Amino acid sequence: MGQDSRRNFLGTAATAATALAGTQVPGTGQDRLRVGIIGAGDRGQQLLREALLIPHVDFVAAADVYTRRLEQAQAIKGDIKTYLDHRYLLEDASLDAVIIATPPHLHAEHFVASLDAGKHVYQEKTMAFEVADAKRMRDAYLRARRVVQIGHQSLSSGLMTDAVAQLRRLPMGKITAIVMHMYRNSPHGKPQWTRPVPADLSPENVLWKSFLGPAPARDFDPQRFINWRLYWDTSGGSVFENMSHQIAFWYQPLQLSIPTQVSMTGGLYLWKDGREVPDTMSVTMEHAEDVLVNWTSGFGNDKLGTGEFVLGTDGTIHKSQQLRYTPQKVNQASVPEVAGETRTLPQAHLRNFFDCIRTGATPNCPFEIGYRTSIACRMAVESYRLGRPVRWDAAKEEIVS
């Protein structure tokens, strides 16, 4: 999104938020919020459990295309209503909000339908799968004037509180680079992300066409269903699953725009098991704010773990399990190191979402952060698949190579 388009979007979004704050919001005050979920897989069930711990929230409905997932949701909360088709869930006028935790290629369909049904939406990351999806979701968001929280949970963490404070109070000088990494490992014979196919995973228990959604038509394939993260039709790989969290965290306080250019290299260096998404990769993103972001990741060694370094002429902020500021002594000889100490409250991101429904406030990870993060991630995937850098045409709002 170009600077003019971005300003227009932010202005329109602010107007929408103001209008929302002045309307009668479902669940105002201490009224209980009625919530449903679309996508009751592993992540969806985790969110369901978290929501059940939050006061004044009733989790009343779940939709999923796989019968096993609905049975598992009922095992968590026995009186929950279940639906194989999410459209029946959205017909419930008593529902205030919907959590969407489906694979990324289905996000746009479920997000737009939920907003058009008048629901507030908690949308799991990465928000949009394709650029066209992001634009369609933006239109629905601006049209609906409902609260939208994107599921980058770290934006509600104590780490974010510390990051904002350190950026505001401590000398950073000119920030020119952010260096990020995310590395994992697993035992021999246990490839990352692969899950066994349940015995009941059959065409009789899955709405296969609904799962495919906008993906190319193909015969029922239990591997593609249960291990959807491994295939381009349904996944953006580690870029969507992991890089998105790390860049969204810094896109918020630094207000970085969509990258002007992105390059991604790497490959399947380790797990040659039929998967399509790479297991080892490097992404470079250039930004109009004169900030270069580098992200490297691999699934074959966990020594480096996960971390980020924000590099300024006067200081460095290192984020891992804690946030730590270190001065650049060449320019700030008398400034001490500062360690962050803010704790993250339980269920912080979901609590923030429900609080914003009641008050009309802007959530910690608003739509705009999800939008920019989605485009950056899609640019990386396109660069990798094309084998060359790609650019963002801000005027046309398109990826070009």
pTM of the model: 0.92
Contact 258, 376 (CB under 8 A): yes
Which tens digit of pLDDT belongs to each residue from 156-182? 999 999 999 999 999 999 999 999 999
Which tens digit of pLDDT belongs to each residue from 98-153? 999 999 999 999 999 999 999 999 999 999 999 999 999 999 999 999 999 999 99
Contacts of 109 (CB under 8 A, 6+ apart): 213, 214
Cα–Cα distance for residue pair 249/242, rounded to 1 Å: 12
Domains and CATH numbers, the chain: 3-155+348-366 (3.40.50.720), 158-344+377-400 (3.30.360.10)
The three state secondary structure string of 61-83 is EEECCEHHHHHHHHHHCCCCEEE
Cα–Cα distance for residue pair 225/207, rounded to 1 Å: 11
Residue 201, pLDDT score:
98
Mean pLDDT of 339-366: 98
DSSP percent split of the chain into helix, strand, coil, nearest 5 = 40, 20, 40
Backbone angles phi, psi at 247, to 5 degrees: -80, -35
Question: Taken in order 45, 46, 52, 56, is the CA torsion positive or negative?
Answer: negative
Which helix (H) or strand (E) is 264 found in, with range?
Answer: strand 261-267
Give strand pairing partners of 294. 179, 284
Which tens digit of pLDDT belongs to each residue from 55-99? 999 999 999 999 999 999 999 999 999 999 999 999 999 999 999
Tell me the three state secondary structure of residue 354: helix
Residue 31, pLDDT score:
80
Rg (CA), the chain: 21
Q: How confident is the model at residue 307 (pLDDT cuts 50, 70, 90)?
A: very high
Closest CA to 284 of 258, 264, 255: 264
